[in-house]
Amino acid sequence: MPLSPRAHNLCSYLGAVFVYLASCCLRGSCLGSTSAPWSVGHSNEKLALLLWSIHFGRRAWETRYVFNFSQTFVPLADSAQEFAYYWIFAGLLAWTVPSDSSSWNQLLRISGLFVWSLAEVSNAVCHRSLSKLKKSRDERSFPSGQPFLFARCTCPHYFFEILSWMGFNLATALPIVGCLFACVG
């Protein structure tokens, strides 16, 4: 049964958080962590979990309160493809994010956090601007004035999404799977 776009996005985003968290728990218990199996041991793992969860939590919140959808359902093949993309990468990233990042340059980590934070806020602003574009189900228009960066770039929300994942990877010691996630997406 096809899902509504809102249900599709909520399953996709909240599923990505759940899979990431579950994979962290499995990683801890499978790799013989001395702490409880549900805990995330190293600071880099905690940082990656935090950034991942904030990103997809924001996307779920936007799905619920910001986005307007014109379609009545999402085809099953599209849902399966998106769920596989987010959930498989969530599991792989949680399993492979570098746990010992003590040799990682702290200036790069701070720069990555700054870039990630700026990109997340900017992406949210773009999504808010986009939500005002639709007057009705069939009609699209641009709001009066120049929406945030849309005068300079056709799709600034995609630019900030990419920038967000670049910041994430920089802040979390360039996990290979994180870089692949950014490139494939």
Q: Confirm if 178 and 91 have CB atoms less than 8 A apart.
A: no
Give the separation between CA 160 and CA 129, rounded to whole angstroms. Answer: 14
Cβ contacts of residue 30 below 8 Å, gap of 6+?
none
Answer whether residue 136 shows pLDDT above 60: no
Answer whether residue 89 shows pLDDT above 50: yes
Q: In 10 A of CB 183, how many CB atoms?
A: 9
Residue predicted with more confidence, 37 or 81: 81
Give the separation between CA 46 and CA 175, rounded to whole angstroms. Answer: 14
Q: Would you state the structure tokens that stand for residue 176, as one six-digit string?
A: 């290979």
Query: Scanning the structure block, which residue is given the tokens 């996709």?
Result: 12
Residue 112 carries which side chain, given as an amino acid letter?
G
pTM of the model: 0.88
